Amino acid sequence: MIIHKDCIKTAFWIWLVAGVLIFLTLRFIPCPYISYPLCSILLFVMGFTVFFFRVPVRRAVPGDNVVTSVADGKVVVIEKVFEPEYLNSECMQVSVYMDFFNVHVNFWPISGDVTYYKYHPGKYLLAFLPKASELNEHSSMSIRNEHGEVFFKQLAGTFARRIICYAKPGEKGVKGEQCGIIRFGSRIDMYLPLDADIKVNLGDYVKACETVIAELK
């Protein structure tokens, strides 16, 4: 398990502060009934930091027409919608809600050409609210191959106010490789062709790279 490259600085400062506090606690609080519990809490914080900013090793499900999940989390939306920003057409929306304890790294759902990217400033409503998809700060991107196109959004939330996206139009995206990160969870909205064969149900828990969201025709 490794720490995400964009979170190393944050993790370093947390470890540094916790380490200094442990030293001061052991140095100036001789009573073990007080110092040991305090140190245990600080050690837990240090360990949780690694867990929180972890980058798991994932092996993507093969298949050029197989769309895997962009993020870990729970499927909270599956519905037919009109996507006005880029696709300008009706499509199937599948949304995955990432909670505080999920892996925060996002991965490309298919391999292909990155065709679109745009950052949208906005509000910080609760990520599970329907209006969040349009009103919240988010990054939009799209990737296309010979089987079809997958458009998706990284949504900020009330606490998740740090979105990082690596998408660059004209470059190649590879399924299973990182396309960004949303610190402290939030939501991913995926927009798929109407004829895509959706493989998940509402309430399903999915894992990035390993759970098949849909198959393109």
Q: Are 15 and 49 in contact (CB under 8 A)?
A: yes
Question: Which of these ranges, 71-85, 157-171, 183-197, has the smallest mean pLDDT?
Answer: 157-171
What does the pLDDT average to over 9-26?
91
Q: What is the pLDDT of residue 123?
A: 78
Q: What is the pLDDT of residue 52?
A: 76
- As annotated, the active-site residues are 186
Q: How confident is the model at residue 159 (pLDDT cuts 50, 70, 90)?
A: low
Q: How confident is the model at residue 113 (pLDDT cuts 50, 70, 90)?
A: very high
pLDDT top residue among 110 and 48 = 110
Q: How confident is the model at residue 18 (pLDDT cuts 50, 70, 90)?
A: very high
- The model carries a pTM of 0.83
* Residues constituting the chain: 217
